[in-house]
Amino acid sequence: MSLLVTGTIGIDTVESPYGKADDVLGGSAAYFAFAASLLSPVRLVGVVGDDFPQAFLDLFEGRPIDTTGLEIRAGSKTFRWGGKYLDDINERETLFTDLNVISEAAPKIPEALRDSDYVFLANTHPAIQLEFIGQLSRSKLLVCDTMNLWIDTARDDLLKVLSAVHGVVLNDGEARMLTGENNLVTAGRAILKLGPRFAVIKKGEHGAMLVTPDDIFVLPAYPSENVKDPTGAGDSFAGGMMAYLAAIGRMDGAALKGAIARGTAVASITIEAFSLDSLAAADAQQVEARLGELKAMVAFD
Amino acid sequence: MSLLVTGTIGIDTVESPYGKADDVLGGSAAYFAFAASLLSPVRLVGVVGDDFPQAFLDLFEGRPIDTTGLEIRAGSKTFRWGGKYLDDINERETLFTDLNVISEAAPKIPEALRDSDYVFLANTHPAIQLEFIGQLSRSKLLVCDTMNLWIDTARDDLLKVLSAVHGVVLNDGEARMLTGENNLVTAGRAILKLGPRFAVIKKGEHGAMLVTPDDIFVLPAYPSENVKDPTGAGDSFAGGMMAYLAAIGRMDGAALKGAIARGTAVASITIEAFSLDSLAAADAQQVEARLGELKAMVAFD
């Protein structure tokens, strides 16, 4: 199945107790695409400014990432984000957010990509997610992410998105905020009442939970001792998850569980280096090896 | 293998968003013993005052709990604790702690119980845990719990305990505080350098992790939608874990993983009612059923 992602492509500056990376490739769609490309071809839709370095464009070359949907907008500046991870690497401070081109008109999905089967709408204003949905002609699996800002300020639009998608991926705090339910299983079930057939609740270092109408699945994160930069973990998780579904062309409960495991494995690779460095150096075999370790780590008799 | 637990037996008053329970049976050794008794006979060592209700003593009757080590001290008052769980039921405030008899001389392990094979030293001052260790004649598996207070105020005694035990069960915050390591795997490995052959790190609603010299095991908590009173979850977990090990007479890696799964199953039963109510109503079959659900919930291909 063809797979498409819409989201941000940006320039990040990241500090953690393990080092600093200045002006590196980042953004939700970049992490998603690199992660997904380990398991499936992926089409990237986003917009950058004409200051976007050629060296970053070159990073997409040689991978099964279709960048025909990456608009380079003349006269605009690329999205920039800076963050600092604390001694407890699960906590971070945002140092700056320069929306730049992200605050202008959204990119369009090129005609040739509108037939995409599986689509992931990474976090952005839900009104823009609705625009993207309107441009798609035959999506079989539509999954969105969101964030607390939109739950708070654009709830009506977000509810329209949720009624239109098949699945949602969001973090535990967002699930609680969206539904007013503290218990995550109850929150997951409440999300299903808003439209999606499944909800994937990310719990950061604690893993992820899948809630469907008739099933609950829980998986811990891979317990890495070598976390250097958690940026993009959630987007890499979504990329690994969606790419596995696209690769096998299924979206049933068993497929979703396998997909969450692949997403967990890929995310664990992402966070072991700054920016996209470890993802860029990874291959399908490394994902498979990490998956095997993960399976062994939760096995008991 | 014979199993013995040392710890508190008290009278609790607990509030949660789901109700209130006044003057009910509680304490680490009570939860441990009720939980363990679902899978193995267990010997209870602790001390209460002469105000301890006969009705509570009656609750131990008819179960494989040996109460010959339960001292009822004339002229003393039983330990009392009061707590209130918040809307987010994973957070609680302590309303009061009346140490009473717990602040007096520790109970002694009766001669007849000193040959116990498997022993769990629930949380108390490490100097008292050392006294207990000195009274044991042939323990094959010694496991202790501890708390932040002792890490802070009685570190030297605690280090002596850790150098004498085979395993330790503690929560994530305590593991970080004890070792100064934020990463839980690194913290677990640092604990092993202090003496224990294994460390079980409890993460509350997020499950538990086992660290041994050559293995890592992670298991999510059972995702209950019906959490009424989390009191005693950790002690029930330890009870289920130790009782499984005692029942099969093994302490290798595979046994520890199975034991953590049983502990997780038993703890999930504990928190679905106030005090020991659901534990008291449970049986081995219910633990087995919960274990099967837990296994299905983490299974993927």
- What tens digit of pLDDT does each residue of B155-176 get? 999 999 999 999 999 999 999 9
At residue A7 the predicted structure's pLDDT band, cuts being 50, 70 and 90, is very high
Please tell me which of the candidates A89, A182, A254 has its beta carbon nearest to residue B88. Answer: A182
∠ CA A86-A87-A90, rounded to 5°: 65
At residue A223 the predicted structure's pLDDT band, cuts being 50, 70 and 90, is very high
Q: What is the pLDDT averaged over residues B73-96?
A: 95
> In degrees rounded to 5, what are phi and psi of residue B286?
-65, -40
Task: Quote the pLDDT of residue B27.
Answer: 96
Interfacial A residues in 74-103 facing B (CB < 8 Å)? 87-89
Q: What is the pLDDT of residues A191-205, one digit of tens each?
A: 999 999 999 999 999
Interfacial B residues in 185-244 facing A (CB < 8 Å)? 185-186, 189, 203, 206-207, 209, 216-220, 223-225, 227
Sheet holding B19-26, edge to edge: B19-26, B10-16, B79-85, B92-98
Q: What is the CATH number of domain B3-297?
A: 3.40.1190.20
CB contact under 8 A, A300 and B257: yes
Distance CA A209, CA A219 (A): 6
CB contact under 8 A, A299 and B257: yes
For the question of an ipTM over 0.95, the answer is no
Above pLDDT 90, what percent of chain A?
A: 99
Q: Which of B198, B173, B216, B214 is nearest to A268 (CA)?
A: B216
Q: What is the pLDDT averaged over residues B261-278?
A: 97
Q: What is the pLDDT of residues A78-118, one digit of tens each?
A: 999 999 999 889 899 999 999 999 999 999 999 999 999 99
Q: Residue B182: list chain A partners with CB under 8 A.
A: 87-89
Average per-residue pLDDT in chain B? 97
At residue B92 the predicted structure's pLDDT band, cuts being 50, 70 and 90, is very high
pTM, whole model, 2 decimals? 0.95
> How far is the alpha carbon of A186 from chain B, nearest alpha carbon, in Å?
6
HSE at residue A223, side-chain half, CA atoms within 13 A, is: 26
Q: Residue B216: list chain A partners with CB under 8 A.
A: 223, 297
Distance CA A30, CA A45 (A): 10
Q: What is the pLDDT of residues A52-62, one digit of tens each?
A: 999 999 999 99
Burial bucket for residue B214 (CB in 10 Å: 0-12, 13-18, 19+): exposed
Task: Quote the pLDDT of residue A140.
Answer: 97
Please, what's the b/e burial string for B237-271 (b: 16 or more CB within 10 A of its CB; e: otherwise)?
A: bbbbbbbbbbbbebbeeebbbbbbbbbbbbbbbbb
Return the residue in A226, A271, A300 with the most chain B beta carbons within 10 A, the one to mutate for interface testing.
A300
> How far is the alpha carbon of B159 from chain A, nearest alpha carbon, in Å?
24
Q: Residue A228: list chain B partners with CB under 8 A.
A: none
Q: What is the pLDDT averaged over residues B99-123?
A: 97
Q: Residue B89: list chain A partners with CB under 8 A.
A: 182-183
